[in-house]
Structure 1
Amino acid sequence: MSSSWADLPTALEGSISKLDELLANDGQLKAFTTSNAIDKPATFGIKSSGSENALLVEVTNGSAKTAVGNPQSALFTLSALPEQWEEFFKQTPVAPYQSYWGMFGMNIKQQGIEVQGDQTEFAHWTHVWRRVLELAHHAHCGPYPEDEQVQPDEDHLVGRYVYLTAPIWGRCKVFYETSGDGDQPIVFLHTAGSDGRQYHGVMNDARMRERCTMYCFDLPGHGRSFPSQSYYPGAHTNTEDSYVGCIAAFVKALGLNKPIICGASMAGQVCLAVAIRHQEVGACGTIPLQGSDYLNMERQWYDRSPYVNQSLFNPEWVYGMMSPTAPLVNKQLIWHLYSGQAYGVSYLDFYFGGWDGRSRMADIDTKSCPVFMLTGEYDWSNTPAMSQATADKIPGAKHKAMPELGHFPATENPEKFVPHLIEAIEHIQATRA
């Protein structure tokens, strides 16, 4: 079958006219391309490896249109093996084919993926080529089947501020929210470069409000929290001591009794650090989401690059880590949160190569602090296999892969995520009983 994808324009021939129609009428693409700064046409290509016949996309102020031809004059060209494009253009792609970023490799290394041409232009136009690829997918085989989501009529969260003092960061004015009146306190931690709004769906869930009293705070300098007193704009940093110290200070300030600590991505890693130092924090268990004992990744487009618009690049980079079937409004919320943070706050040095717990996993006492790891299958930065390998090093730890969820399970689809979360909570409670 993949041989039919050896020439991408030929494989898409029956849907190119539909693609042009979508390009002309798509509100998102118009929002991305309407700018007087686009003062001359910009063209990029999309093709199969080994072929010099490409789908060419010319972008002008407020519009985009396709042509077919040699990509030699394109600013850059997105290239992939025929069998990889075949997977991408299925109505519901399996991981990591839900996005070109996932196909590109990162921590799921694949041969055959290549960005040819100007790499900085590739980063400059990442929001446009991502949307064009989505529309090409939709034109060829229809939109992704979108999970249904009931829209709530009432919000149950209450927010306020508290002053915390953390190592390195010093005294900080931190925003937090709470909901629920269940017996089990649980503290949610957001991902790097985002804030606690990621957990609103979970914290409004009736099942969780009955079981738990939930808390979520924005790290200093993130979301609605103020920067630390030692902060220079663009110079946010994070270490295990500052992060764990901030969590411990929050638990102490609110007088929480044996809370569970749960967080994703960078916060999934710090959940492992909390498990190691649970007596210091006062935690009774941890639920690391999308976490592992060590993770490294080459980041060519550094998150503090002066050459790349971080408010466009950062949200695009993480957008492809989500399940393609997640409700669009939730995926757009993640995009919005990552686009709206301060310069340099999307600090990934802790997540990628900065935190290394490999030599300490066997020291975690899961009788005193049970660990239940959860990993969405669509995450290409921290795969279920990586989390399982970490869980295997922790005596008594459990791990579960979550189908139809990605890097932001609590935000992507709270309805699907909450049953996994409750299973982890009940395991921790039963283990400590």
Structure 2
Amino acid sequence: MGNSSWNDLPSALGDSFSKFTSLLSSDPQLKAFVTTDTINKPVTFAYKSSGSDNSLLITVTNGSAKASTGSAKDALFTLSAPPEHWEKYFQKVPVAPYQSYWGMVGLNLKKEGAEIQGDQTAMAQWSHVWRRVLELAHDAHCGPMEEAEDEPEQKEDHITGRYVYLETSVWGRVKVFYEWAGNGKQQIVFLHNGGADSRQFHGLMSGDRQLRQKLTMYAFDMPGHGRSFPPQKVPAGAYTNTEDGYVQIIGAFVKALGLRRPIICGAGMAGQACLAVAIRNREVQSGGVIPLQGSGYISMERPSYERSPYVNQALFNPEWMYSMISPTTPYANKQLLWHLYSGQAYGILHGDLAFSNATFDARPRLASIDTTNCPVYMLTGSYDYATTPSEAQATADKIPGAKHKVMEGLGHFPMTERPGAFKGYLMEAVEFIQAVRREGLGNLRLEREE
């Protein structure tokens, strides 16, 4: 990076401009994004440093994206950020939350200066293109992103799946898809992120033989998600998740399968659900919870493009979620996450976020959690800017007996990003919960003997 001044973004990237233009013309992912007959006229957008008008301009036509420099005055939209933000983004491995432009702009973690200027809807419509272009600019300037090592994909799959009918007062009778793997003594139920499905856990459930020996792992797709059928009483596009609905469906699943005090573990929206289970454990009879990326309350400004007639949610939703992962996530796992979020039904992510980022508020109830009955071990990825480690720690501090740990080098989807790295954190949490429960049973026996 030398002594280049990031006050002028094109100048700071000048030495890598030739490499950048070469990548623009040769990258297969970008080619797939911009090759369509519906691009019937050139579209130009820009990147620049705050306080400067000299911009990196990208002009997209059917089948190509070309770079130039100049004023952003004629750009459809401009992605602007302070010079120090761009400098952090263009590190070999960016630190959180500068791994993506969405992280630089901030959602519930506001940072001064980063600003999307111009046509906001167009920005959302082209989010897949400007994200990939920015990645290529990073690769040209810093070299290809080094992928973190993780366990290789297994040659044989060990997951079995089927359907079960579950009934709740919120959603009625619903046909739900679930999967299981392992034959260990400890039962655990995995809950997927909002707007996704349980395929997020495949690398974890099928990948490690020792894990399958210690745990019997279950995961189900929420109603209307992935392979589960939608609730019959909910019109298409009108789905909205609620605390009652979520706790009821978890309890119904545990009961239908005859599980005995299973640990409940989930990420993002499901991290909030884990906290709700701990608060209302009489309804679920869980043996403990492991909230991933959980918080007692999130107040996040949402653009609402995830349910807009003007924006293709199959392009926008995966882009927004993709921005929350660790930059060193193996390419195949990045692609899987993108695919999962691109393939969900209309309005599903929007309805989930209505619960996790708007209506759910556990703050007044956290202190009431009985962690001798339902131990709480929270885990948060260091790259997650949606629920930051400090927010998760603040939540854990309000729960008597709860524990929290930061997962270094992981983001919002740790079980999918790097299952091999995540399993160590998972087993530490499982063992903590088991130890608390053993201590509680021992104390109960002593009381009875007295």
Query: Does TM-score exceed 0.5, indicating one fold?
Result: yes
1:223 corresponds in structure 2 to: 226
1:372 aligns with 2:374: no
- Say if 1:50 and 1:2 are closer, same or farther in 2 by CA, change over 3 A: farther
Q: Any stretches of 5+ residues in structure 2 without a counterpart? A: 439-450
What are the within-5 Å matches in structure 2 for residues 101-112 of structure 1?
Answer: 101-112=102-113
8 Å contact 1:376–1:402 — kept in the other structure? yes
1:249 correspondence with 2:252: yes
Q: Deviations over 1:202-256 (max 9, x none)?
A: 1012232011100000001100001112121111111111110000000000000
Query: Residue 187 in 1 paired to residue 189 in 2?
Result: yes
Deviations 1:56-97 (A, max 9, x none): 000010110100100100001111111110000011000001
Structure 2 CA distance for aligned equivalents of residues 140 and 147 of structure 1: 20
Q: 2:240 is matched with which residue: 218, 221, 237? A: 237
- Structure 2 residue 251 is the aligned partner of structure 1 residue 287: no
In structure 2, how many angstroms separate the alpha carbons of the residues matched to 1:302 and 1:206? 41
| Alignment equivalent of 1:176, drawn from 175, 178, 196 | 178
Within 5 Å, give how 1:90-239 maps onto structure 2: 90-149=91-150, 150-204=152-206, 205-239=208-242
| 1:86 match | 87
Give structure 1 regions of 4+ aligned residues with deviation exceeding 6 angstroms. none
Change (3 A) 1:218 1:431: same
Report percent identity of matched pairs: 64
Compute the displacement of 1:303 (Å). 2.2
Query: In the alignment, what sits opposite 1:315?
Result: 318
Partner of 1:163: helix, strand, or coil? strand
Paired residue for 1:394?
399
Query: Are 1:384 and 2:386 counterparts?
Result: no
Contact 1:2 1:86 in 2 (8 A): no
Pair 1:417-2:431 in alignment: no
| Letter aligned with residue 236 of structure 1 | Y
The DSSP-based 3-state class of the residue aligned with 2:147 is coil
Aligned equivalent of 2:270: 267
What is the Cα deviation at residue 264 of structure 1?
A: 0.3
Q: Say what the alpha-carbon RMSD is for the aligned residues.
A: 1.0
> In the TM superposition, what whole-angstrom CA distance separates every residue of 1:22-63 from its partner, at most 9, and x where no partner exists?
000100001100111100110001111111100100001011
Match of 2:78 in 1: 77
Does residue 44 in structure 1 map to residue 45 in structure 2? yes
Q: Size of the alignment, in residue pairs?
A: 433
Equivalent in the alignment of 2:65: 64
- Could you tell me whether the CA contact under 8 Å between 1:167 and 1:246 is conserved in 2? no
Structure 1 SS opposite 2:166: strand
Q: What are the superposed Cα offsets for residues 127-177 of structure 1, whole Å, 9 maximum, x if unpaired?
A: 000000000000001121102341210110000000000221010000000
Checking the alignment, whether the CA contact within 8 Å between 2:10 and 2:54 is kept in structure 1 is yes
Amino acid at match of 1:198: Q
Amino acid at match of 2:415: A
Secondary structure of the structure 2 residue equivalent to 1:303 = helix
* Aligned AA (1:184): Q
Please give the per-residue CA displacement for 1:114-135, whole angstroms capped at 9, x wherever unaligned: 1111111111100000000000
Matched, 1:28 2:33: no
| d(CA) in 1 for partners of 2:95, 2:62 | 34
Decide whether the 8 Å contact of 1:2 with 1:82 is kept in 2.
Answer: no
Distance 1:206 1:375 in 2: 25
Contact 1:47/1:77 (8 A) holds in 2: yes
Deviation at 1:302, TM superposition (A): 3.8
Q: SS where residue 222 of structure 1 aligns?
A: coil
Q: Is the 8 A contact 2:153 2:203 kept in 1?
A: no
SS for the counterpart of 1:374 is strand
Q: What is the aligned counterpart of 2:329 among 326, 330, 334?
A: 326
Q: Which amino acid aligns with 2:180?
A: T
Paired residue secondary structure (2:307): coil
Contact 1:76 1:117 in 2 (8 A): yes
SS of 1:359 mapped into structure 2: helix
2: CA distance, partners of 1:147 / 1:93: 14
Contact 1:167/1:241 (8 A) holds in 2: no
Shift of 1:280: 1.4
Q: Taking structure 1 as reference, are residues 2 and 123 closer, same or farther at Cα in structure 2, changes over 3 Å only?
A: farther
Query: Alignment partner of 2:122: what SS?
Result: helix
Aligned to 1:55: 56
1:327 Cα deviation (Å)? 0.6
Using the size of structure 2 for normalisation, the TM-score is: 0.95
Where in structure 1 are there 5+ consecutive unaligned residues? none
Cα distance in 1 between the residues matched to 2:44 and 2:244: 47
Secondary structure of 2:227's aligned partner? coil
User: Per-residue deviation at 1:430?
Assistant: 0.2
Counterpart for residue 367 of structure 2:
362
Cα deviation code 1:318-358 (max 9, x no counterpart): 10100000111111111100000000011210111111111
Cα drift, residue 190 of structure 1 = 0.4
Inter-partner Cα distance in structure 2 for 1:4 and 1:192: 40
CA distance in 2, matches of 1:144, 1:107: 27
* Letter of the 2:293 counterpart: Q
CA deviation after TM superposition for structure 1 residue 3, in Å: 6.9
**3-state SS in 2 of match to 1:395:** coil
Query: Partners of 2:258 and 2:79 in 1: how far apart?
Result: 53
Check conservation: 1:292, 1:386, Cα contact below 8 A: yes
CA distance in 2 between partners of 1:206 and 1:70 (Å): 57
